[in-house]
């Protein structure tokens, strides 16, 4: 019989370090997830799941901040894909009320294909290098460059 309360390999968590990371990175990670998913509720759920996954692996994760960012991006991409498949209404239904210039920019970014949107958000919101983006997304640097080029061309209206 399986006992769900018993752990075969208990994970040691440095509560102070984890709590500090949580306090410092919760809001930025929710903003990142929001930019990738387009909804606050999904963004918060994605980040909560990412923090839970990090906590479960805390003792084995060498770079918690990088792990957290990758977990948020991966979960947000999955959520965005699922949302796109389930969406039956217009794109504007789930948008937040933002200043007009931000709202217009977000709407254009939101219309990008999911992979291009992820590259734009990681490059210009998270300020990651092309190499770091490639690591987060699990692709080559050349792929990041081409996706970024296509996305920016599209945003400029020439692609």
How do residues 29-68 score in pLDDT, each as one tens digit?
Answer: 999 999 888 889 999 999 999 999 999 999 899 999 999 9
Report how far apart, in Å, the C-alpha atoms of 150 and of each of 17, 95, 118, 136 are.
40, 24, 12, 19
Structure tokens at 114: 């999911």
pLDDT of residue 158: 54
Q: Are 72 and 30 spatial neighbours (Cβ–Cβ below 8 Å)?
A: no
Q: Are residues 65 and 123 in the same domain?
A: no
**Domain limits at 18?**
1-94
pTM of this structure: 0.66
The CA distance from 66 to 70, in Å, is: 6
Q: Are residues 70 and 115 in the same domain?
A: no
Helix (H, G, I), strand (E, B) or coil at 98: coil
Last residue of a domain, one of 48, 70, 94: 94
Q: Are residues 27 and 72 in the same domain?
A: yes
Q: Are 30 and 41 spatial neighbours (Cβ–Cβ below 8 Å)?
A: no
Q: Are residues 118 and 82 in the same domain?
A: no
């Amino acid at each position: 019989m399986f006992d769900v309360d018993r752990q075969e390999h208990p994970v040691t968590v440095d509560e102070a370090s984890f709590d500090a990371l949580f306090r410092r990175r919760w809001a930025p990670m929710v903003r990142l997830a929001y930019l990738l998913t387009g909804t606050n509720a999904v963004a918060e759920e994605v980040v909560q799941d990412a923090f839970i996954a990090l906590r479960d692996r805390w003792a084995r994760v060498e770079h918690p901040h990088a792990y957290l960012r990758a977990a948020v991006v991966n979960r947000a991409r999955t959520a965005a894909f699922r949302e796109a498949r389930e969406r039956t209404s217009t794109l504007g239904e789930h948008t937040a009320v933002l200043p007009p210039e931000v709202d217009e920019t977000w709407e254009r970014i939101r219309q990008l294909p999911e992979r291009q949107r992820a590259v734009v958000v990681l490059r210009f919101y998270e300020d990651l290098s092309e190499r770091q983006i490639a690591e987060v997304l699990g692709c080559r640097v050349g792929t990041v460059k081409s996706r970024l080029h296509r996305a920016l061309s599209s945003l400029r209206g020439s692609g």
